[in-house]
Structure 1
């Protein structure tokens, strides 16, 4: 970095002190990661703002690397944050460091400084784009109650009393309602049995029923906003139901109502992406994918929430650039939902006549994907083969 920036960060930058970390532990901040040496004590010159501090314990005997863990922290100017390593758990300690200990470290900053690595400033501009809509409050709201984001969340088996009852029927059995239907229908005056067969569980359902019902340990799960299951307003006509399934703006509206402001949805999209990209959380990846699919499935909302979709395009463009190559290859080779929904999004913008700056951004985004990744977005004015409506011919003689 240039001298002026270095001087500014020396004065205004934050400091993260991590005491007792074993040598060769994988440690990183934001998009950079290193293996620690015996002199490591932390990071200095951290630009004010949100940062993702992450680590993985490494076994001394085998060199096995533990699943990644980390914290999201919003550093204020000149903030001095201290954490300790728990040797017994091979993890960041949950205990707060006393103010007295922190002050001693500050008083000894001259000797401590040479054990602190400088923040990798070359990633800062890109990191700001990836986190542009994540506020300190939103990061705290979405993080687990424990504060630790883990790639591998501890799962606990649900007790029998908490398991759902009557959801699946074992093969060969029936629920009481089916039995009552059979008794009623068998006693009709015609004497003909029109009883319905008891619904049998599928092989997959039987397998699922035999598996333990596992849930994350209390305080360990990421707290993402649940995407509403309601696809249309109550009392909708068949035509309205069809419209809302094709255009999921109503579902997006329901989700916006759960936020303090619409752009927090983009902040959640960024947060879930980072928990996947850096934190290695598959739950976060699934939530990111669901948000992308929802935002790409809207028509009316593009015109109503132009700022939201403006930031959506800016965000997903930089996210796709940073996505691992194997995921990018999978998107196109298997024509997965992300690729299909991006096609749908571009087609919606084309058909609904989005104009002005937003259309310019969409066109540029589409062209960049085609140029850099060779993604094919031709023929947007035509339906995909598997998206064409199915015509069912009814037999005129059918009863």
Structure 2
């Protein structure tokens, strides 16, 4: 596991190449991720520091985003990103993973801020050193496959106990809502 650096890409890039990737790449804005959380995209996992707010210059296509805390199991999800797309996620403390940002209007304002470069200092560059290998592995995955084969919860859990805990919480919330009606 690597310490998250805001310059994760270790491949030498000319300023023109970096600008092209910045202009065409997608971005993931990940809010409120606690320090020392492990954040991963595709093959690589990094330990998050205090400035971390996500990843920029992400090539379009299928990607696997995953997180874990200390020795807890890994939770993640597949996402299909298009060129110049920005997605906003927020850390959910209850289930200890990233979830889509709930407030759609605020999420759109945050996407605009990302496109304007207001978060650049807090976004790491996509780790290009493993992209060719990831592309070979994921070349047969498209947006329809992700939708069709993804779990109902949207999150892939590495252990059954984590999924079971979330399902129990959902059932408890459903029962409380039924009681109120």
Structure 1-normalised TM-score?
0.36
Gap change, CA 1:101 and 1:75, over 3 Å in 2: closer
Matched residue of 1:114: which SS? helix
Matched residue of 2:118: which SS? helix
Task: Give how far 1:26 is off.
Answer: 0.4
Query: Which blocks of at least 5 consecutive residues in structure 2 are unaligned?
Result: 1-10, 169-181
1:130 to 129, 132, 137: 137
User: Residue 11 of structure 1 corresponds to which residue in structure 2?
Assistant: 23
User: Residue 118 of structure 2 corresponds to which residue in structure 1?
Assistant: 111
Structure-to-structure mapping, 1:92-171, within 5 angstroms: 92-93=98-99, 96-104=102-110, 106-107=112-113, 109-153=116-160, 154-155=163-164
Greater relative contact order (CA < 8 Å, ≥ 6 in sequence): 2
Higher strand share: 2
1:257-290 superposed Cα distances (whole Å, 9 cap, x missing partner): xxxxxxxxxxxxxxxxxxxxxxxxxxxxxxxxxx
C-alpha distance in structure 1 between counterparts of 2:87 and 2:100, whole Å: 14
Q: How many residues align?
A: 153
C-alpha distance in structure 2 between counterparts of 1:6 and 1:76, whole Å: 18
Task: Give how far 1:142 is off.
Answer: 1.1
Matched residue of 1:110: which SS? coil
Structure 2-normalised TM-score?
0.76
C-alpha distance in structure 1 between counterparts of 2:110 and 2:136, whole Å: 36
C-alpha distance in structure 1 between counterparts of 2:107 and 2:150, whole Å: 27
The reply to whether residue 28 of structure 1 matches residue 24 of structure 2 is no
The reply to whether residue 83 of structure 1 matches residue 89 of structure 2 is yes
**In terms of Rg, which structure is larger?**
1
Query: Which blocks of at least 5 consecutive residues in structure 1 are unaligned?
Result: 59-64, 157-215, 219-399
Gap change, CA 1:67 and 1:13, over 3 Å in 2: same
Gap change, CA 1:124 and 1:110, over 3 Å in 2: same
